[in-house]
Amino acid sequence: MKCIINRRAQFSASHRYWLPELSAADNLAQFGLCTRSPGHGHNYVLYVAMAGELDEYGMVLNLSDVKQVIKQEVTSQLDFSYLNEAWDEFRQTLPTTENMARVIWQRLSPHLPLVNIQLFEHPELWADYEGNGMEAYLTISTHFSAAHRLARPDLSFEQNSEIYGKCAREHGHGHNYHLDVTIKGEIDPRTGMIADLVAFQKAVDKWVVEPMDHSFLNKDLPYFAEVVPTAENIAVHIRDLLQQPIREIGAQLHKIKLIESPNNSCEVYCTSESANSLTQADRVLVQA
């Protein structure tokens, strides 16, 4: 039986975004505060996912052996390091989160049956790499607070209450929504970036967080005047809002994950083409 296992590791390191072929002004325009000398640091968290058949002892791999491989090949070399000089790969391509995930894959793949490398720079920014050349995934996490009422305008209060329960009450209720937006694209061989991170964050803020934060979704967003703002419909709408802005920064929108509460979340996987409604090519996962 095939199984995927994960091993967590961590290291602390510093890095700087700076290209010597650019002027100070151009570096600042490209990388912002990340150009400051001598650099800045993070507590990185690494998840190594591996796949294989269960052996007679009920294991895919001996995790003690896995731990030693990760330590020898990655964490012992990167912990308390200046990343720009730690590995030759980072002299050629800057040690961004997505490029670090790619290079860590390259370092570990001769030793472990990898299926994914996930690297957290901090809890609101992480990258995934699956071994596909220069293609990687980058996720930012954000939040907004909003109220909504689950009720179809063509149904009576009694009918809506039968379908949506307490969520159909007239004055609605609120949530602290957590939103993960994942893009995918090719890592630039010099900057190490899928897309401009600042532009990525600004797109999410402009199209999603600013209009939705501290709103009553049914009343403040015209889209939800007729569409019931379930977590699924909100996620689909966010998908539709962001596809074009993400294309404009040179990447492709991959996934929207909306966490309505600790008990409820929804994931919408995106198609390569813009859509105004959910199609058969899309995949929606709801966890309750």
* No. of helices (H) and no. of strands (E), the chain: 11, 11
Looking at 3, 143, 214, 248, which residue is catalytic? 214
Q: In 149-272, where does DSSP find H-type helix?
A: 157-164, 197-204, 210-212, 217-220, 231-248
31: part of which helix (H) or strand (E)?
helix 24-31
Looking at 124, 167, 186, 254, which residue is catalytic? 167
Q: Is 34 a catalytic residue?
A: no
Q: Which amino acid is at 54?
A: L
130 burial (CB, 10 Å; 0-12 / 13-18 / 19+) is middle
Helix (H, G, I), strand (E, B) or coil at 186: strand
The two tokens of residue 245 are: 């802005």
20 burial (CB, 10 Å; 0-12 / 13-18 / 19+) is exposed
48: part of which helix (H) or strand (E)?
strand 40-53
Looking at 73, 260, 267, 270, which residue is catalytic? 260
Give catalytic residue positions: 167, 214, 260
